[in-house]
Amino acid sequence: MAKAVEKWVEEQAALTKPDKIVWIRGNEEEMRGLMEIGMTVEHTGPHQTFRQLNSNIFPNSYLHRSHPNDVARTEQLTFVCHPKKEDAGPNNNWMDPTEAKKLVTALFDGCMKGRTLYVIPYMMGHPDSPYAKPCIQITDSIYVVVSMYIMTRAGERILNTIGDSDNFVRGLHSVGDLDPNRRFIMHFPQENLVMSIGSGYGGNALLGKKCFSLRIASYQGYKEGWLAEHMIVMGIESPDGDKKYILGSFPSACGKTNLAMINPSIPGYKVTTVGDDIAWINVGPDGRLYAINPEAGFFGVAPGTSDNTNLNMMKTLKTGNFYPTLFTNVGLDLSTNSPWWEGLTKEPPSDLLDWQGNPWKPGTNAAHPNARFTASAYNCPLLSPEFDNPRGVPISAILFGGRRSDTVPLVCESLDWAHGVFKASSLGSETTTAAAGAVGVVRRDPMAMLPFCGYNMADYFGHWLNGLKISNPPKIFFVNWFKKDSNGKFMWPGFSDNFRIIKWMLDRVDGKVSAKDTPVGLLPNISDLNLAGLDISEETMNYLFEIKKDEWQREIAGIEEFYSQFGERLPTELRNHLADLKRRMQ
């Protein structure tokens, strides 16, 4: 059974030298046993791995505190190791694969002494889906094992799917000694292999997520004619029963999870959630795009999540089932033994520990700004009935967004597919706490994939332009919920009111409304937006759609600078679109 898997596991065990090897089978008893171990053993600090929370409020939920130096993705320590540096492109850190393996193999040598090595067979995508991919992750972290249980379809049945085949994605992970100087997340796209050491943080350690489902999978998609994207997938049902599915791409911590579970502000509409972070997109036999969510859970940002901003996520977090819910680096309300984070309630509870377990001091963060919850998608009251559909859902529109205080209008439609690809390839967004580093600076983040594209982005743009055989492309839209006024205040109410913009997009898809041609693309006639019940002035609406020449000149300069890194490899079509934009802006 699963000969190639056994051989690979034996080799990794010989390298890492664990005391014990445990194969994850995927059943309730095993899960309970893991939680028990996690509640007794110290993990990465002076705390047990899991602390059970108040099961009357948050059933089957646990608090986890990470090492304080290990709270976000570390892009500077993440490498994409193609044999040729040019194939990784300017968007990735690169190391020669042989060198990279030598470097991390030395760190993995004996790293599991005194620890248990867990083997997790798992599938990204529903096991019945032709688009799903079988994988094996090795780890020495119980937190990672339980998280993989929640976030993927894990268990021994995947070993039967793999059989004696060599065709599975390999992920070797160890928390190592959590020293950032010995932390590396190494990707080997040619070998479907990830080696990650020194971090237990989700984006670095749950290797099915960013490492495989985006970085490695984007490269697989390039070779095989499909796309792996940093996108939500949502269904929208109109009052007359029409059902459409859209994709939404935003950089990390820009509200993807909230949008995926939006409570529509227009009566009669119903939203369902297929995915909140990753979409695998294939061309169906009818020439349309079809998307699956390869994950089975949500790893979302906790701060800011509340009954007001995302009631459906709050309900998800309060629904206990077989899969536990984890809260990582949140505060702890001692009086109720429940999690707390900024924004959950107006006032912090009086008896509060911060995310590191110290008494909370006013003026400091109780939860880490990138504190996360890990919850099963099956707990979500809005989960789409199509969630497990092996073929995925047909896509009517794609929306791209970024976090921009100025320049970018509330919504804009591209002229056609290629113009949409141009605009998506040149998107800028202000950085957030989801990655270590400066916060709030504009960086180009094409398709919100800058940290996740596993090959040269110039080739990725070419793949978007010409690599898919779509005869019936969806419309492409661009949104910016984050425009601010001169006092730094957000001008658009956001959250459930974002649905008003989605409604306009659906009207455009159905050909019900016209749009205004402008130098940056097609803008709505404000009279076509449903603003009923919204207290927003005409002046503010006009400002949200204002295209300022000086801001766009700066934007064009930023795009030119970004594009210049790709040299001749950048598709000519994009260069032409940029020249067009420049001309139209004069």
List binders of Mn ion among 377-416 (CB under 5 A). none
235-264 footprint of Mn ion as x/- string (CB under 5 A):
-----------------x------------
DSSP state of 552: H
Q: Does 298 bind ligand OXD (CB under 6 A)?
A: no
Q: Does 252 bind ligand OXD (CB under 6 A)?
A: yes
| In the complex, least distance from residue 452 CB atom to Mn ion, rounded to whole angstroms | 8
Q: Does 432 bind Mn ion (CB under 5 A)?
A: no
Out of 81, 254, 412, 453, pick the active-site residue: 254
Q: Does 555 bind ligand OXD (CB under 6 A)?
A: no
Of the pair 208, 473, the CB lying nearest ligand OXD is at 208
List binders of ligand OXD among 426-465 (CB under 6 A). 434
Mapped onto helix, strand or coil, the DSSP state of residue 62 is strand
| In the complex, least distance from residue 548 CB atom to Mn ion, rounded to whole angstroms | 30
Of the pair 277, 413, the CB lying nearest ligand OXD is at 277
Six-digit token string for 513: 């409304």
For residues 280 and 290, the answer to whether their CB atoms sit within 8 Å is no
Of the pair 69, 336, the CB lying nearest ligand OXD is at 69
Q: Where are the beta strands (DSSP E) in 182-258?
A: 184-188, 193-197, 227-229, 231-237, 243-249
DSSP 519-548: TTEEEE-GGGS--TT----HHHHHHHT---
275-294 footprint of ligand OXD as x/- string (CB under 6 A):
--x-----------------
Of the pair 252, 407, the CB lying nearest ligand OXD is at 252
For Mn ion, which residue has the nearest CB?
A: 277
Q: Does 299 bind ligand OXD (CB under 6 A)?
A: yes
Of the pair 203, 297, the CB lying nearest ligand OXD is at 203
Q: How many residues sit in the footprint of ligand OXD (CB under 6 A)?
A: 7
For residues 466 and 572, the answer to whether their CB atoms sit within 8 Å is no
Q: Bridge partners of 187?
A: 80, 194
Of the pair 341, 566, the CB lying nearest ligand OXD is at 341
Q: Does 73 bind ligand OXD (CB under 6 A)?
A: yes
Which amino acid is located at 497 in the chain? D
Q: Does 60 bind ligand OXD (CB under 6 A)?
A: no
Token look-up 């927003």 returns: 536
Q: Does 304 bind ligand OXD (CB under 6 A)?
A: no
Which of ligand OXD, Mn ion, none lies near 434, with the C-beta cut-off 5 to 8 A by kind? ligand OXD
Element (H, E) at 118: strand 116-124
Element (H, E) at 479: strand 475-479
Which amino acid is located at 457 in the chain? M
Give the neighbor-by-neighbor strand order of the sheet with 227-229: 227-229, 279-283, 289-292, 393-394
For residues 173 and 146, the answer to whether their CB atoms sit within 8 Å is no
Residue 579: exposure state from Cβ atoms within 10 A (0-12, 13-18, ≥19): exposed
| In the complex, least distance from residue 433 CB atom to ligand OXD, rounded to whole angstroms | 10
Told to judge if 254 belongs to the known catalytic residues of this protein, a careful annotator would answer yes
Q: Does 203 bind ligand OXD (CB under 6 A)?
A: yes
Six-digit token string for 160: 């039967």
Radius of gyration for the chain, computed over Cα atoms and rounded to the nearest angstrom: 23
For residues 445 and 428, the answer to whether their CB atoms sit within 8 Å is yes
Q: Which residues would be at the binding site for ligand OXD (CB under 6 A)?
A: 73, 202-203, 252, 277, 299, 434
Q: Which residues would be at the binding site for Mn ion (CB under 5 A)?
A: 252, 277
Catalytic machinery residues: 254
